[in-house]
Amino acid sequence: MTVFPSFIFQMISPTVFFVGVVVALSASLLGVFVVGRRMALISDALSHVALPGLAAGLLLGFDPFLGALAVLFFSVLIISSIERQGILSFETLVGIFFTAALAIGLLIIPEEHLLESLFGDIAKIGYLEILETALLGFLILFFIVFFFREFSKITFSSDLAWGEGLNVNRLNLAFLLLLALSVAMGIKIIGALLMGALIILPASAAKNAAGSLKGLTLLSIIFGLISVFVGLFLAGAFQLPPGPMVVMVSAAIFGLSLFVRKA
């Protein structure tokens, strides 16, 4: 017991463990489809869109998580509806929303909270956060499991999905909303800036190593869980911010995956 200081155990308390598992599971499962569809930068950008919501919460004294959630949700709805007019591409619109949101966020966010919003602060997780994570996590996991085949078909080929009569537009919107939810959920634990990374990295590493969709999904989950656990542990051991540590571990796994590449 003397080898590790006590805060390490605080870091990996049951509360943190639970929140970490739910965030890792949601992020790595969504990542399978994000990486497959080459939407990687979109999940990254979405994580920045959350900032003004966080800032508003901090300024006006309501739960920043709810602020982030609301801003993400409406951004996705607005982006989708403008996209349907067919003039600007989805990527362009996300780019516009992302930079504008980042600018607004940086302007209004109280300076002492800036780092926390960008990189998360797991030490501040309380019962409310656990409840929020549990609810959102259940919702996200339920939808992914329930629509796994539909999302897989669309990711593999939207032509094929159309041909079978799937409502590709509606499923795409649902997927983006799930992505937005998972970004909002991850903000507390690893921060807005790095949540996008937790969606992309485990799935990318898994894609390097997997020879099947089943393998890709399972490996992505495993890599996501390892990233969160090892990252939190190292953050505790060296008293470093947890968000960047989680992402560093994830990036290291990605680096290793390059060596087992199944071209």
User: Judged by CB under 8 A, which of 14, 86, 126, 211 binds another protein?
Assistant: 211
Q: Is 263 exposed, middle or buried (0-12, 13-18, 19+ CB in 10 A)?
A: exposed
Q: Judged by CB under 8 A, does residue 199 bind another protein?
A: no
C-alpha distance from residue 131 to each of 125, 138, 161, 213, 250 (Å): 10, 11, 36, 32, 26
How far, in Å, CA of 65 to CA of 54, rounded? Answer: 6
Q: How far is the CB of 228 from another protein (least distance, A)?
A: 23
Q: Which is nearer to another protein, 51 or 210 (CB)?
A: 210
* Region from 43-51, 74-82, 115-123, 205-213 binding another protein, contact rule CB under 8 A: 205-213
Select from 146, 164, 167, 169 the one that contacts another protein (CB under 8 A).
Answer: 164
Number of C-alpha atoms within 13 angstroms, CB side, residue 33?
24
Task: By CB under 8 A, tell whether 223 contacts another protein.
Answer: no
By C-beta, is 67 or 224 nearer to another protein?
224
Using CB under 8 A, pick the residue from 207, 220, 241, 242 that binds another protein: 207
**Separation between Cα atoms, residue 201 and residue 214, nearest integer Å:** 17
How far does CA 134 lie from the centroid of its chain?
A: 15
Helix (H, G, I), strand (E, B) or coil at 218: helix
159 binds another protein (CB under 8 A): yes
Give whichever of 47 and 204 is closer to another protein, judged by the CB atom.
204
One DSSP character per residue, 179-238 reads: HHHHHHHHHHHH-HHHHHHHHHHHHHHHHHH-SSHHHHHHHHHHHHHHHHHHHHHHHHHH
| Closest CB to another protein among residues 37, 113 | 37
Contact with another protein (CB under 8 A) among 213, 222, 225, 230: 213
- Residue 160 is a binding residue for another protein (CB under 8 A): yes
Q: How far is CA 234 from the centre of its chain?
A: 21
Binding segment for another protein (CB under 8 A), chosen from 98-106, 152-160, 183-191, 221-229, is 152-160
CA 18 from centre of chain = 16
Binding site for another protein (CB under 8 A): 36-38, 148-149, 152-153, 155-160, 163-164, 207, 210-216, 262
